[in-house]
Structure 1
């Protein structure tokens, strides 16, 4: 088949395969980091304090400071797992389940199942059995390796011990341990492939994708895709070797990979429309129905991975980012001070916050008072007109405005307004905050 493969066909296949593979390979970096490098799968990896710039999680873009995290890559090749969720009535929490494709396939928590807790059987695609006694529900997954994230509202540093106590009440155990029976034989060691810096930005993605397919079941509605992918040696049990092709086909495959990466990067840089300087991010995260079944849906799946892996559904939390004033000018704290005005009531059933990052990295940057977010848990000043004005500036404001000061780095900024369990107007894009405006131009 290699001899009959034209450069034009090779480029088209390479582009489609890159888009399909991108979220899988992108997510593998996080799964490998926690599941292999940090101590293994099926382990509750609790983050015990609000993230700050020195944390390893600050290597992920736009990290949130509203909740304490528990991150869990889990492996169901051997047997299902049982997750015990404690009851705690007085604070928000969520458990987000994302499969290896990066579909958000299930949610537990305040919005979906309430505060009462429960036991849940986490089952991979090969399990078929009766729901055990003592288990409230089965959560099936299309992939044998998956990922879940627990987020628990933390109301500041003083609240961390209370959240830590709740974290310790979560429990994850193999089904055999839950039932008190002998465990099945361990799953074979897959000789985990070590991530590289070019694993999802070059043709290297195809070798990683071939390796990771051992953890994925072929989908009936995607078999035709893999017939085409096989023409450039992509698929279950295949070895991708660019040197196996004639030079024109090699170049076509490289061009297809580059074209796909450029498309993903361009859409992710501006995933939605801009109003008042705010990006209104469209529905790019969700379940298999949203992100699988067509070329455009698979492209959306790749874009959401580029925007930020393991992001939430809009119903759980809407992120509204901005880097610009209403006229398109870059928000740059090295040249001006700014203010963000919010008018209560903020349209959420949960809570809200504002966090600022350096625009180029989307990471937190240290500041003198260790304050990186403000929100409804803070003692903010409400002005006589009923509005909340948050001061975004590198230097301190007047003493009587310190409560509303969010210190920012002296550089272009990325500002993110997070709205947890938002009202329908937010989910459907009808809520538009006032633009960030400059209040003082700094001396050159």
Structure 2
């Protein structure tokens, strides 16, 4: 997902609109007085709650998607429950207004798995010539625990075992690789390249070859006993992003056992404020002092996230595995707020511009040029694209030729004699000679241009390919 102003503002609105009302009830104590034996941060209850809110935020936003996609058949995003793919094979236009920063490069394939009873197996076909695909697997923390795709596992067919934290058995014959998650509930966000509107039928046929099945079905062995039924909490954004977040965090922690060894101290610290796998939590039953600590800590967590978002300018380094992110839980929260489920930099990099070379906002009333010297062309192994979005909506811009992006796969793209590429960003046609390099903008109003690099070079993965300058012509 692309870090987007609309996503960012929506998150901020959610944070700012949390109700902090708490009813009175029987008094209890959530934490002992501060002690001298704390080795991991402050033992002040409000500070612990702040840190726990930041830790929980990506899990909570991930649960919001889980609830919509697996628990609510009436939701437009419902995928059919656990263990099923829902494929999208659509060429987005300005008429599609339900998804911000829509991506015409790689339509999605979504699936959620419950790994408590047994692992599952993903089987993929051989890649077609020119067809890029990737399956990005994430745990309940939103950490990426594995990739299957042309970059990570090659272009041949294969079967990959997706296992939860408690599984330690050897894989059966026919498994190319084991992807081990830190949680029993995981999500696969698949992306498959769309080569243009005429490619939709072929894309659908390729997506249909992605297959999910339990390990017992793959190995043709007896199925294990079913895991106990889960009573899922109803999704309530205001509730779960407020001081009652501890209740949802405790519920989700049940599916992340055993905890990572690196978090033993953190979990012991969180336990002082009533946080633990499956523990009940009732804000109203807390003592007045403890309730104030929880309410204040949640507010402090929200403020810390807003402040960090305000100074975050790039998606590079926000997404990745536990090894890549370490214990930077605020970074993980920023990633969830700005564009949850973004790719790690080794898979794809997104950079953009919403200002011209003089620092002025891009506006459809003006004409611009983006000139890329031969040695400045996007360094992408697979392909790259530049897509224009109107602001603040982050939606595609209607235009006379129904063109919403340009890239190295675009027909009619012309390069200069020196190998350079000039993209003409303007509302009116730039003339017949430059028509193939025209990226239409709105007649007026702000917009931005997002470059997506698939299979970026090593320097690009660490910010070594800055977004090209946008020069105002008139």
- TM-score, normalised by the number of residues in structure 2: 0.83
Partner of 1:340: 370
Structure 2: 5+ residue stretches without partners: 1-28, 35-41, 73-77
C-alpha change, 1:130 and 1:386, in structure 2 (3 Å) is closer
Asked if 1:404 corresponds to 2:444, the answer is no
Deviation at 1:374, TM superposition (A): 1.4
Distance 1:371 1:229 in 2: 51
Q: Can you list the C-alpha shifts for 1:285-333, whole angstroms capped at 9, x where unaligned?
A: 11111224x3xx1111111111211111111111112222233322232
C-alpha change, 1:130 and 1:3, in structure 2 (3 Å) is closer
Partner of 2:83: 42
Asked if 1:120 corresponds to 2:130, the answer is no
C-alpha change, 1:248 and 1:325, in structure 2 (3 Å) is farther
C-alpha change, 1:338 and 1:266, in structure 2 (3 Å) is farther
2:90, 2:200 within 8 Å by CA — same for their partners in 1? yes
Which has the higher mean CA deviation after the structures are superposed, 5-14 or 106-115?
Answer: 5-14
Partner of 1:314: 345
Match of 2:459 among 411, 425, 430: 425
C-alpha change, 1:204 and 1:369, in structure 2 (3 Å) is farther
Partner of 2:473: 439
Distance 1:102 1:174 in 2: 22
C-alpha change, 1:198 and 1:362, in structure 2 (3 Å) is farther
Match of 1:229 among 255, 258, 270: 270
Which has the higher mean CA deviation after the structures are superposed, 430-439 or 36-45?
Answer: 430-439
Distance 2:439 2:132 in 1: 24
Partner of 1:239: 280
C-alpha change, 1:239 and 1:414, in structure 2 (3 Å) is farther
1:271, 1:282 within 8 Å by CA — same for their partners in 2? no
2:118, 2:214 within 8 Å by CA — same for their partners in 1? yes
Asked if 1:21 corresponds to 2:56, the answer is yes
Alignment of 1:121-200 (within 5 A): 121-198=161-238
Asked if 1:85 corresponds to 2:119, the answer is no
Distance 2:269 2:102 in 1: 38
SS state at 1:352 partner: strand
1:392, 1:407 within 8 Å by CA — same for their partners in 2? yes
Distance 1:53 1:240 in 2: 45
Partner of 1:371: 403
Q: Can you list the C-alpha shifts for 1:372-420, whole angstroms capped at 9, x where unaligned?
A: 2211111223345543222333444445433333233443223211111
1:226, 1:235 within 8 Å by CA — same for their partners in 2? yes
Distance 2:361 2:150 in 1: 37
Match of 2:147 among 107, 112, 123: 107
Root mean square deviation of aligned Cα: 2.5
1:105, 1:141 within 8 Å by CA — same for their partners in 2? yes
Asked if 1:76 corresponds to 2:110, the answer is no
Structure 1: 5+ residue stretches without partners: 273-278
1:26, 1:200 within 8 Å by CA — same for their partners in 2? no
C-alpha change, 1:139 and 1:427, in structure 2 (3 Å) is same
Distance 1:49 1:32 in 2: 23
Q: How many aligned positions are there?
A: 427
Deviation at 1:20, TM superposition (A): 0.6
Alignment of 1:195-214 (within 5 A): 195-198=235-238, 201-214=241-254
C-alpha change, 1:129 and 1:67, in structure 2 (3 Å) is same
SS state at 2:183 partner: coil
Distance 2:115 2:342 in 1: 22
Q: Can you list the C-alpha shifts for 1:336-361, whole angstroms capped at 9, x where unaligned?
A: 33332223343221110011223434
Which has the higher mean CA deviation after the structures are superposed, 309-318 or 177-186?
Answer: 177-186
Partner of 1:265: 306
Deviation at 1:31, TM superposition (A): 2.0
Distance 1:5 1:399 in 2: 75
Partner of 1:66: 105
Which has the higher mean CA deviation after the structures are superposed, 394-403 or 71-80?
Answer: 394-403
Partner of 1:349: 381
2:32, 2:272 within 8 Å by CA — same for their partners in 1? no
Alignment of 1:252-291 (within 5 A): 252-272=293-313, 279=314, 281-291=315-325
- TM-score, normalised by the number of residues in structure 1: 0.88
Asked if 1:219 corresponds to 2:260, the answer is yes
Distance 1:360 1:102 in 2: 27
